[in-house]
Every structure is written in C-alpha cells, then in structure tokens.
Amino acid sequence: MTLRVVFMGTPAFAVPTLRAIHAAGHDIAAVYTQPPRKAGRRGLILSPSPVQTEAERLGLDVRTPLNFKDEAEIAAFAALKADVAIVVAYGLLLPRAILGAPRHGCLNAHGSLLPRWRGAAPIQRAIEAGDATTGMMVMRMEAGLDTGPVALTAETPIGEAETAGELHDRLATMSADLMAEALEKLEAGTLTFEDQDAIAARTGRQPVYARKIDKAEAALDFAGDARLIAARINAFSPFPGAWTTMSFGAGPERVKILRARAETGSGAPGTLLDDRLLVACGSGAVRFLELQRAGGKPMPAEELLRGTPVPMGHVIGGA
C-alpha cells in the first residue's frame, strides 16, 4: 500500500526529498511551493522555484498560493484527503487547519539536531558556533517553531573547513533518505515519536534559536578568536559571503572569504603573518583558503596569489 502525500517545499534543498518520495511510488496528490519570483537583471522574468521545476518535470500537480489566509485555499488543501504532508524548507507559515488536515499530520525534515538550532538558519548557525556534529531530523509539525516531537535522526560530523554550501548539499541527500524511511515506517505503522523535552534531557541539547543570516554580520573583525572567525567564514559561504578589504596594488577592495581554517600565530589583528594569507587575530590566526574578488570567480588562495601576491606584513580589514 502506498501513501497519499502532499509535498511542500521550495528551494533546491527540498528537491532530493521530492524525488525520493516519487521514486518510492507514493501517490503525490499535489506539490505546494512558493510562487515564481522575479529574476533577471531587470526583474522582468518570473523564475519558478527549484521544487516547481522538478515537480513539473515529474508531471505532478503544482500549487503556488501566496499564503493560507484564504479559507478557500485551506479547503482546497483539505480536499486532497492526504495521508500525510511532507514539508521541507517550504518557507510559508502553516496554520493549524493545514497542520491538522492530513490523516497523519505534517512531517518536516529539519537540518539540525533538535532542540538545538530551531529556526531559519540551522545549517549556518551550527557551523558558526563550532558544533562538531549536526544532522537531519524528521519531526511532526505543531504550531510552535520547530518544537514538534521527533521520529527519526541522522547525525553527521561537520568538517574542519566545511562550508555551509557543502553541508547543505550533504544534508539534502540525508533528508531524502530519512524521509523515505519515515514514510516506510508510517506505512507499516511503526513510526514513533519522542518529545523534544525528553531529547534535551537525554542528550543535554538545549533549545537555541537559529536566527536568519543578516548581511551586516558578514563584515569580518579580526580582533576576536581565530576559531570563531574561521567558523563564521565557513558558515557564511557561499551566502552572504564573509568579507574584508585587501589591496592588490590599486587601493583597497572588498573581497569575499569563502573558506578558512584556524591556525596558530600571533600579531596585530589583521596583519598577514606570511605571504600565503595567514591573518593574525586577537587570539590565534586564520588561514584564508578560498576567496572571491569583486566581479571574479571563487578561487583557491594559492591561485589568486599567483597573479596578485600579497606580502607578509600587509594589514587587511577596515571599511
């Protein structure tokens, strides 16, 4: 027996899970995703979400409501008579009427080890905080923000210089596998849930809010601890991209730092300690591993330095 499923998701992160559910043979009654957004240099082109593009490729019914404030929209959702709704990075608030419409409620794939990192940016905040591990969880949604009971967990280590973009892609694959397992157990009647308070008591993980990334956070200050600075660089890569200013012979310019590693070293914060972009911090030093100049493409530090050497003793940073 297959399940009648409504899928709700928007960005590329959700696409592997949609594919996995489709491949498992479940009856996908409809796919909900955010409406097409304006794109192009002049904003004249409407660009569908990655989920809409994939759903249309699979021949699925796609729905793009602005929200669920309209009673007719809620009634249309309920009329699908779904066994379960699968929600992966949908991006819209779901009212109680939607959460309670499917027979088994709504299952959400969340990219953290709950109750740690509830909220909008769990992948970035886990890296920024220096967490050694993170993971994916399948939880049953309720009215609170990422507070529902958890059914399945898959943990993974965070690499020393792993970026948010790389971790994002790994977790997207893990999400697909975990949700496929959750639906298999739901079908068999063996899917069970654990309250997040019980998880916190068992693991010691306390609730932390993963606030949305603000572009203002991306400016680097080398007065702090090198480990935290490197973690912030990797957490904000590829977006919004942590940045500093450097001179390549024609005055200071803004440069994005897309990957870094904390190392030993000491000196005045912002001073290069060698000719390979080791930067002194308030405590320790940070090695730039990947950079992007304005209008250029991301490149390894050694490749950038071949054409534009930056000598030891050079001071970077500032407005």
Taking a C-beta distance cutoff of 8 angstroms, is the pair 175, 13 a contact?
Answer: yes
Q: How far apart are CA 30 and CA 261, in angstroms?
A: 44
Residue with token string 């972009």: 277
Phi, psi of 6 (to 5 degrees): -110, 130
Phi, psi of 164 (to 5 degrees): -60, -35
Q: How far apart are CA 138 and CA 126, in angstroms?
A: 18
Q: How far apart are CA 172 and CA 58, in angstroms?
A: 19
Q: Is position 115 annotated in a ligand binding site?
A: yes
Q: How far apart are CA 164 and CA 10, in angstroms?
A: 18
CA-nearest of 287, 291, 299 to 246 is: 291
Terminus-to-terminus CA distance in the chain, angstroms? 62
Q: Bridge-partner residues for 210, per DSSP?
A: 119
Q: Is position 113 annotated in a ligand binding site?
A: yes
Separation in Å, CA 214 to CA 61, 125, 165, 242, 256: 35, 12, 17, 11, 15
Q: Which residue type sits at 91?
A: G
Under 8 Å CB-to-CB from 76, ≥6 apart: which residues? 63
CA-nearest of 216, 215, 196, 213 to 204 is: 196
Taking a C-beta distance cutoff of 8 angstroms, is the pair 23, 104 a contact?
Answer: no
Binding residues: 112-115
Binding residues for (6S)-5,6,7,8-tetrahydrofolate: 112-115
